A and B are shown apart, each in its own frame.
Chain A
Amino acid sequence: MLSSDMIQLMWIGLLETLYMTVVSTFVAYIIGLPVGLLLYVTDKDGIKPHTAINQIVGGIVNILRSVPFIILLVAVIPITRAIVGTSIGSTATIVPLVIASAPFVARVVESSIKEVDRGVIEASLSMGASTLQVVYKVLVPEALPSLIFGAAIATTTILGYSAMSGFVGGGGLGTIAINYGYYRSQSDVMLVMVALLVLIVQIFQEIGTWISKKCDKRIK
């Protein structure tokens, strides 16, 4: 069976994974939410169409989204070093995680906002709402259930990315799975890691779905 040292290691790994995932998701939303809104608002069918801004921002988002995470992880090491001082450990991993997931979050946000009924936006404009008022009084509150559901998807995706960072010493459950489960062929450790990751994804997804439903006033 697993030694108590191993269990201790796994416990720390679990905490590191949760730390990376939650902090990265949070920072990714700080960047991705406004970018997603900007993409929606400046779209040619948006409330304030602006082709240049839309194409430049959209272009950057697409470029970042098209680089596979495992490559981005290595490619941004100089940036990571410049910000954190090291490229190893869970705090350092937050940098590539944010760079990779913020554009993803922006697209998820954009697609949630697109679900808001055009008529409601038109009605608010007819009442004299400014662009900013439409954004924070109509778009965000009306899309909230969908935004929360999207956040659950983003969190689980970021969790998956964080495990990948184990290959370059990113810390967390991924590192344990690769160092012990893969390099040392300890299949019992690998099994526990996979089970833990599956469990965490389930929990995040369920919580997200539950809150999303709970706050949706369209459900009777």
Chain B
Amino acid sequence: MYCTLKGPYRKIWAKQGGTTKQIALVLDEFIKDVFFAQERRTNMSKSPIIQIQNLNKTFKSGENTVMALDNINISIERGEIFGIIGLSGAGKSTLVRCINLLEKPTSGRIIVDEQDMTKLSERELRKARQSMGMIFQGFNLLMQRTALENVCFPLELAGVPKSKAKIRAKELLEVVGLTDKENAYPVQLSGGQKQRVAIARALATNPKVLLCDEATSALDPTTTQSILALLKELNQKLGVTIVIITHEMKVIEQICHRVAIIAESRLVELGTIDEVFRNPKTTAAKKLLYPQGEHVEKFTGKGKFLRLVFDGSSTDRPIIANMVLKCGAPVNIAFADTKNIDDKIFGHMIIQLPDNPATVQRMLNYLDEEQITYGEEE
């Protein structure tokens, strides 16, 4: 042997006396070691960064208790942008506050980066919170501090020396594009600029997780776009896991990888954006996807009503127009609600077919050929 054997290998070598068979045994052990080390490493990086297990939260209001969260189970992977959507009052804000224990769960476990948050002492909890950033709907900047001093704030809390904190804060303001505003007070900044300062502040301590509580709900559409773009960029550049709470479908569509739908304190759906949008299973999900209602009115008139479902696979062809041309009869579009996500179209449309059984049959055949999902409407 040209190398010295260590620990278990040396033992096996010594025990067996050193024949070819033993060389094979040692090699075997060695390979196992390397393999398991590799597996451990990949497991480590693959373990979810946030695990919410059997989370319950109740509030006492006078005599009665109100259930805010009912047995929530969610795993959020490292580096993903995870959306949590629900109507107001669904419990999503309570849920995000349970992650950093601003709200104490009534029961259940919150595991962040392999640490059970519910079991930490106060001091440990404060330490753990420093590795999680949070931004809010109302920005929550310190009004008596400049932008730069606001970004320095979490560093001061963590005990970073002032001069170092200042350098880091300047870097962060550059990242969010506010270098020229470092000496401005929050009152002198626009909503979007305030949220940028808040993002810089949340990232100051190099957190692994960024929690966003309705972070764009107070902003106009254009500013919302720019903040979402910034979050996406930070996610890609820094690898920070982002959890987004919102009631706006647009926000989820635009940047989230996966989404959870919370309705009436329960987790009703969870999946990739495609899965959930293509095939919303619950009424809660449908309500969020089609806020105007699934169909606006009762349809009356002669002829069948047909609901066509677009699931993102059949959009680059003009289906309706082709059908009309091919079958030689017009249809009436009674209702349509579709949205463009990642250049695929999701949604549904209700059309009124002509009052002629033969044409209807031809049209249904055409839709079958094109593999469009449809169903008859009452």
Binding site for B on A (CB under 8 A): 117, 119-120, 122-130, 133, 137-138, 141-142, 144-145, 215-220
Please name all residues of chain A whose beta carbon is closer than 8 Å to the beta carbon of B136 when the two chains form the complex: 119, 122-123
Assess whether B102 is interfacial by the CB under 8 Å rule.
yes
Bound CA–CA A1/B158 (angstroms): 68
Please name all residues of chain B whose beta carbon is closer than 8 Å to the beta carbon of A137 when the two chains form the complex: 153, 156-157
Q: Quick one: given A217-B185, A220-B188, are A128 and B154 in contact (CB under 8 Å)?
A: yes
Q: Quick one: given A120-B142, A130-B126, A144-B144, are A125 and B185 in contact (CB under 8 Å)?
A: no
Select the stretch in B14-22, B127-135, B167-175, B350-358 that faces chain A.
Answer: B127-135
Assess whether B138 is interfacial by the CB under 8 Å rule.
yes
In the assembled complex, the CB of B360 is this many whole angstroms from the nearest CB of chain A, namely 58
Chain B, range 97-145, C-beta contacts under 8 Å to A: 100, 102, 122, 125-130, 132-134, 136, 138, 140-145
The contact sample of 16 A-B pairs, CB cut-off 8 A, is A117-B138, A119-B136, A120-B143, A122-B102, A123-B198, A125-B102, A127-B134, A127-B154, A127-B201, A128-B127, A130-B122, A130-B126, A144-B144, A145-B144, A218-B185, A218-B187
User: Are B143 and A126 in touch, CB under 8 angstroms?
Assistant: no
Please name all residues of chain A whose beta carbon is closer than 8 Å to the beta carbon of B246 when the two chains form the complex: none
Bound CA–CA A219/B143 (angstroms): 10
In the assembled complex, the CB of B92 is this many whole angstroms from the nearest CB of chain A, namely 16
Please name all residues of chain B whose beta carbon is closer than 8 Å to the beta carbon of A126 when the two chains form the complex: 100, 102, 129, 132-134, 211
Type the 1/0 row for B174-217, where 1 means its CB is closer than 8 Å to any CB of A: 00000000000111100000000010011001000001000000
In the assembled complex, the CB of B132 is this many whole angstroms from the nearest CB of chain A, namely 7
A120, A126, A145, A215: residue with the most chain B Cβ atoms closer than 10 Å: A126
In the assembled complex, the CB of B271 is this many whole angstroms from the nearest CB of chain A, namely 28
Q: Which 4 A-B pairs have the closest CB atoms?
A: A123-B140, A128-B129, A119-B140, A128-B130
- With CB as the reference atom, state the residue of chain A lying closest to B122: A130
In the assembled complex, the CB of B165 is this many whole angstroms from the nearest CB of chain A, namely 13
Chain B, range 17-76, C-beta contacts under 8 Å to A: none
User: Are B154 and A142 in touch, CB under 8 angstroms?
Assistant: no
Please name all residues of chain B whose beta carbon is closer than 8 Å to the beta carbon of A141 when the two chains form the complex: 142, 144-145
12 new A-B contacts at CB < 8 Å, known A120-B143, A141-B142, A215-B144: A120-B142, A123-B141, A126-B133, A127-B202, A128-B126, A128-B130, A128-B157, A137-B153, A144-B144, A217-B185, A217-B186, A218-B144
Please name all residues of chain A whose beta carbon is closer than 8 Å to the beta carbon of B140 when the two chains form the complex: 117, 119-120, 122-123
Please name all residues of chain A whose beta carbon is closer than 8 Å to the beta carbon of B133 when the two chains form the complex: 126-127
Please name all residues of chain B whose beta carbon is closer than 8 Å to the beta carbon of A122 when the two chains form the complex: 102, 136, 140
Bound CA–CA A186/B185 (angstroms): 56
Please name all residues of chain B whose beta carbon is closer than 8 Å to the beta carbon of A130 when the two chains form the complex: 122, 126
User: Are B141 and A120 in touch, CB under 8 angstroms?
Assistant: yes
Type the 1/0 row for B255-292, where 1 means its CB is closer than 8 Å to any CB of A: 00000000000000000000000000000000000000
A128, A130, A141, A218: residue with the most chain B Cβ atoms closer than 10 Å: A128
A120, A144, A218: residue with the most chain B Cβ atoms closer than 10 Å: A120
User: Are B187 and A127 in touch, CB under 8 angstroms?
Assistant: no
In the assembled complex, the CB of A135 is this many whole angstroms from the nearest CB of chain B, namely 13
In the assembled complex, the CB of A214 is this many whole angstroms from the nearest CB of chain B, namely 12
Please name all residues of chain A whose beta carbon is closer than 8 Å to the beta carbon of B132 when the two chains form the complex: 126
User: Are B129 and A127 in touch, CB under 8 angstroms?
Assistant: yes
Bound CA–CA A204/B205 (angstroms): 44
Indicate which residue in B129, B143, B205 contacts A142 across the interface (CB closer than 8 Å): B143
Please name all residues of chain B whose beta carbon is closer than 8 Å to the beta carbon of A145 when the two chains form the complex: 144
In the assembled complex, the CB of B127 is this many whole angstroms from the nearest CB of chain A, namely 7
User: Are B157 and A217 in touch, CB under 8 angstroms?
Assistant: no
- With CB as the reference atom, state the residue of chain A lying closest to B126: A128
Please name all residues of chain A whose beta carbon is closer than 8 Å to the beta carbon of B142 when the two chains form the complex: 120, 138, 141-142
- With CB as the reference atom, state the residue of chain A lying closest to B131: A128
Please name all residues of chain B whose beta carbon is closer than 8 Å to the beta carbon of A216 when the two chains form the complex: 144
Bound CA–CA A149/B188 (angstroms): 23
Please name all residues of chain B whose beta carbon is closer than 8 Å to the beta carbon of A219 when the two chains form the complex: 187
Bound CA–CA A129/B205 (angstroms): 13
Please name all residues of chain B whose beta carbon is closer than 8 Å to the beta carbon of A129 when the two chains form the complex: 126, 157
Please name all residues of chain A whose beta carbon is closer than 8 Å to the beta carbon of B202 when the two chains form the complex: 127
Bound CA–CA A138/B157 (angstroms): 11
Type the 1/0 row for B203-243, where 1 means its CB is closer than 8 Å to any CB of A: 00100000100000000000000000000000000000000
Bound CA–CA A217/B186 (angstroms): 8
User: Are B153 and A127 in touch, CB under 8 angstroms?
Assistant: yes
User: Are A119 and B138 in touch, CB under 8 angstroms?
Assistant: yes
Indicate which residue in B141, B158, B187, B188 contacts A128 across the interface (CB closer than 8 Å): B158
User: Are B158 and A217 in touch, CB under 8 angstroms?
Assistant: no
- With CB as the reference atom, state the residue of chain B lying closest to A121: B140
In the assembled complex, the CB of B213 is this many whole angstroms from the nearest CB of chain A, namely 9
- With CB as the reference atom, state the residue of chain B lying closest to A130: B126
- With CB as the reference atom, state the residue of chain A lying closest to B155: A127
Please name all residues of chain B whose beta carbon is closer than 8 Å to the beta carbon of A217 when the two chains form the complex: 143-146, 185-187
Bound CA–CA A217/B142 (angstroms): 10
- With CB as the reference atom, state the residue of chain A lying closest to B184: A217
- With CB as the reference atom, state the residue of chain B lying closest to A141: B144
Indicate which residue in B144, B145, B186, B205 contacts A127 across the interface (CB closer than 8 Å): B205
- With CB as the reference atom, state the residue of chain B lying closest to A140: B144
Please name all residues of chain A whose beta carbon is closer than 8 Å to the beta carbon of B146 when the two chains form the complex: 217
User: Are B187 and A123 in touch, CB under 8 angstroms?
Assistant: no
Bound CA–CA A125/B211 (angstroms): 14
B125, B138, B143, B185: residue with the most chain A Cβ atoms closer than 10 Å: B143
- With CB as the reference atom, state the residue of chain B lying closest to A134: B157
